[in-house]
A and B are shown apart, each in its own frame.
Chain A
Amino acid sequence: MSAVPRAHDAADPERRRPVPDPIQVRAILVATLRRATRGVAPAGHRGRPRGLLFLLFTYGVMGLLLGLLPIVGTDVFTFSLVIWSATFMMSGMTMVAESSTLLFDPRDHDILGHRPIHPRTLLAARALSLIALALVLGLAVNIVPMFTGIVARGSRPWFPIAHLATLPFMAVFCAGTVVFVYALLARLVSRRVFDTIASWTQVGISVVLLVSYQLVPRLMDRLGTFRLDSAHPALLALPPTWFAGLSMVVLGVETGARALAMAASAIVTTVVLAWSANRFLAEGYARQVAALGEASAPAAPARRSPSRRAGTSRLGALLGVVMRDPVERGAFRLARAYLARDRDMRMRIYPSLALCLVFPVLAILDPRGSARMGAIMTIFMIGSLPATAMMTFKMSPHYAAAELFRYVPIHGTASIFHGVRKAMLALLVVPGLLASGALLWFGTGEHHALLMGLPALMAIPTLSLLDGVVGDYLPLSIAPTSGRQGAVNVGMMVFGFVWLATFAGLGALAEDKGWFWHMVAVEAVVLALVHPLLLRGIRARALSRAEG
């Protein structure tokens, strides 16, 4: 009779595996990357990572534009610093946007929770997938600057090698920071608190990344001479400077104590971040992933207080007045519930709120800068917020439930679209405008500056209709795949900048010529014509059927 195979025995030295287990790390990493980069496609077709490809293309174009700097005589350190600042900001923002999919997918627990995987193995695999994404994104941004850097003032022919050698450190640093912050939170707080603060932490990280990115050119502008030896102390505290220092040391153009200290900071911080996240924080991370996979556990049914019940019924009555269409009211309530309660949705949408805070904060931090520009930039950025949030609201792990919209008797998605749109305007844009307006009003004292944002403010309701014109608007209907959220954010940021440049230019010109109020009047007329046309286009569109 053959021996019965022994059950897995962790104490058996022959079965003891290294931690993290490289075989398991590789397997999870490959599976994660495949799942993350393959799009969800109709039956019978293979998906394509359209979001990721678009993101890489956009980053490549941004890199191309930045890569032109040496042509106008930029010196090699400045060029390197600008490129690493942009890489840091763009990769960091995408890491933050994608962490919901790559680090905290609740489906992970069903698939991996019952397998013999050490928490450190799981965290290592997840962190490596983020690093891989950071590397690919970093490469897209740097592919052109890597070569144009050769002609920067004071550069050397081996600039591409020095730059490329720094890139993996930057990728590990970006991914490591995100993993470290979340793993630390996961270790320190309970599931319920984690759900609440994770999304606000993302807003915080996004603000820091954007403010840092905006601070670099301002600090360099004050510096006058662009050498590390004489750099402003505040500049030395920013991580992109460390990586620029590392590039300069590898390139051999800066070998002073400061340059060496910067290079050492880049390497040491990266290693310490990665090591400590994996060594001390893995247990907490695995616990949170397990908790996300479980049903949320409100043990005691929440009894609503009379005041809350009264508040809900008042809101219901108000919605009944503002929105006559019951489908629209239903969609508004759906959006409100997801914005308030769904961790995944909050982690995707709330970082966009950073846009409301960055420019007011910069206007306060940098009083020499134009508060007027701060106001205009803020309102224009908030102008792109509804479109970003509307597109993001299409993505959810609950996408299968959105099949509902295809078998209920609705002619088109106009009512659903308007319900969600009004929720985004009421719950994101209005609070965002109030918060940034208050910061600018009380922080800068330049009250006239706020008036300059009026043309942008007027256009926000019409701009928020654009997403409804391009196709069926089905909320929560798209499976989140890697790169998709980043692509939405970048696409909308580009859109925001284009509309900013157009209207801000016209506004500034009109004010200089004394035509500001004329311009406002013309805009009001144009909007009054375009808005109903867009509404009619959205209302006329019939719901298309799925192909597979």
Chain B
Amino acid sequence: MIRLHQLSKSYGDQPAVRGIDLEIPTGQLVGLLGPNGAGKSTTIKMLTGMLAPTSGTAEIEGFDIDRDPLEVKRIVGYVPESGALFDALTALEYLRFVASLYLIPEDEAEVRIARFANFFDLDGDTLTGKPLSAYSKGMRQKVVITSALLHNPKVVFFDEPLNGLDANAALSFKTLITSLARDGKTIVYCSHILDVVERVCERVVIIHEGRIVADGTVAELRERSGAPTLEGAFNRLTATENLLARAEEFARVLSQ
């Protein structure tokens, strides 16, 4: 269970997240949507213990993010949007390093790494033969995802996890997260690719300008907004309905 109560974050006098109230039951797969700068990543960073909230509280599986940050971090996995890795290491070295940070015994870590490598088609030579700087974007993303799941977290936050993945890997990943949710893991999935969210998430929360503006199943959001698709509902809820007209105007100005 994830529980947020009036969670807020400001940078100086600039509010990024404004008093969010939210409950996500254990085992639910929730899509967290919002335009750029809406406050999604800030919210996730607070929930993963990376950022201190300005006010409000949040609990993950009963642990307060402020009082028990280490307990929270032990049960949380996080795929950051940046997909950043220590480029001078090989994938195997990086994954062993992450395993050591979660205090996973070395032999157990090897087994888990091998299991993920097998799932993502990363062979032994790829894992050990070159530094991460030589990896393609998709390969790097596979390593980032593996590193987030290595400690078998109860709650996983995915921030744009499909970045760079090819069609097959993306399909495998979508199957993976639905399986993880079926196994009782709580998953928060942050993305701009709305059709994927529409297909895999049982519930969608839309944040706009630091506030929750919609919360419900995809069908409920469509019905409430009167739009035929999640994309349409998103556009209406985040005040970008005149997007088409603005795009046409932009193209006209550009060709002058």
Contact = CB atoms under 8 A, between A and B. Distances in A.
Task: Tell me if A's interface is mostly helix, strand, loop or mixed.
Answer: loop
B88 A548 contact: no
Interface in B1-19: 11-12, 14, 16
B227 interface: no
A334 B86 contact: yes
Interface stretch (B28-36, B128-136, B167-175, B181-189): B128-136
Contact of B134 (A297, A329, A411): A297
Contacts of A341: 88, 131
27 contacts: A42-B11, A44-B12, A45-B12, A295-B134, A295-B136, A296-B130, A296-B134, A298-B131, A303-B125, A303-B129, A304-B128, A326-B100, A326-B103, A327-B100, A334-B86, A337-B89, A341-B131, A403-B80, A404-B98, A407-B50, A408-B73, A409-B71, A409-B101, A411-B70, A476-B86, A545-B49, A548-B11
B96 interface: yes
A545 B72 CA distance: 14
B102 interface: yes
B84 interface: yes
Contacts of A398: 84-88
A301 B80 contact: no
A476 B78 CA distance: 19
B125 A295 contact: no
A43 interface: yes
Contact of A407 (B48, B100, B125): B48
How large, as a class, is the contact surface on chain B? 35 or more
Contacts of B52: 545-547
Nearest to B109: A326
Given A409-B102, A410-B70, A400 B84 contact: yes
Nearest to B125: A301
Among A303, A337, A345, A401, the one with the most B-chain Cβ atoms within 10 Å of its Cβ is: A401
Contacts, number: 118
Contact of B133 (A296, A333, A411): A296
Nearest to B16: A43
A407 B148 CA distance: 10
B144 to A, nearest CB: 9
A411 B85 CA distance: 22
Interface string B49-75: 111100000000000000001110110
Nearest to A339: B88
A327 B104 CA distance: 10
Nearest to B106: A326
Given A302-B129, A333-B97, A409-B70, 6 more contacts: A45-B12, A296-B130, A301-B130, A398-B84, A545-B69, A546-B51
A54 interface: no
Given A406-B49, A546-B51, A401 B84 contact: yes
A342 interface: yes
Contact of B88 (A43, A45, A342, A411): A342
Interface residues of A, number: 41
Contacts of A400: 80, 82, 84
Among B49, B52, B97, B131, the one with the most A-chain Cβ atoms within 10 Å of its Cβ is: B97
Contacts of A337: 86, 88-89, 93
B76 A407 contact: yes
Contacts of A491: none
Given A401-B84, A401-B86, A546-B50, A302 B130 contact: yes
B93 A295 contact: no
Contact of B49 (A295, A327, A407): A407
A477 to B, nearest CB: 11
A503 interface: no
A499 interface: no
Contacts of A326: 100, 103, 106
Contacts of B88: 337-338, 341-342, 345, 398
